[in-house]
Amino acid sequence: IEVTLIDNQAQRVPSTFKGPIHPSTSDLGALLLGRSSSGLKGIIVVPGVIDADYTGVVDIVVYTLHPPLCIPQGSRIAQLIPMRNLVSAMTQEPTPPRPFRGNSGFGSTRPAACLTLNMHDRPVREVIVKYAGETRIIKNLLDTGADMTIVN
């Protein structure tokens, strides 16, 4: 359907995709993200998680900063990135059964799961720094996520 965003409030837009993400895999959900071309058109897609057992039409939540904006029928504004449920593979105990998602969207079926990583397990290497005739050996954390590292 054609949708016109008349203000900057979030609005649900039905997609042409109906769950489940993969019929034979019970732990394969998806992350819904906007396509790069959507942003260039002024359409902001709110990211969302699609549960593995969701069977309804996937709605896309969108808004714009510059209304009015028309989204023509058949526009490709979002994409689904398949993702396995990694939390269930990490737990030692069986997870309690949760209610079947079915076609009820936009809600949670269980408490939030948070994943943390021990920072001591990140790769540390000895680095030799030579400058102005001096040599220093320091232990440095690799893969800090920064574009540069400053050594004092």
Residue type, 98: R
In sequence order, which residues have a C-beta less than 8 Å from that of residue 36 and are 6 or more positions away? none
What is the helix (H) or strand (E) element at residue 86, kind and residue range?
helix 86-90
Nearest C-alpha neighbor of 3 from the set 72, 58, 51, 56: 72
Whether the link from the prior residue into 111 is cis, omega within 30° of 0, is: no
Residue of 7, 121, 143, 147 marked active site? 143
Q: Are 140 and 125 in contact (CB under 8 A)?
A: yes
- Beta 44-45 vs 11-18: how paired, if at all? unpaired
- Tell me, yes or no, if 147 is annotated catalytic: no
Catalytic machinery residues? 143
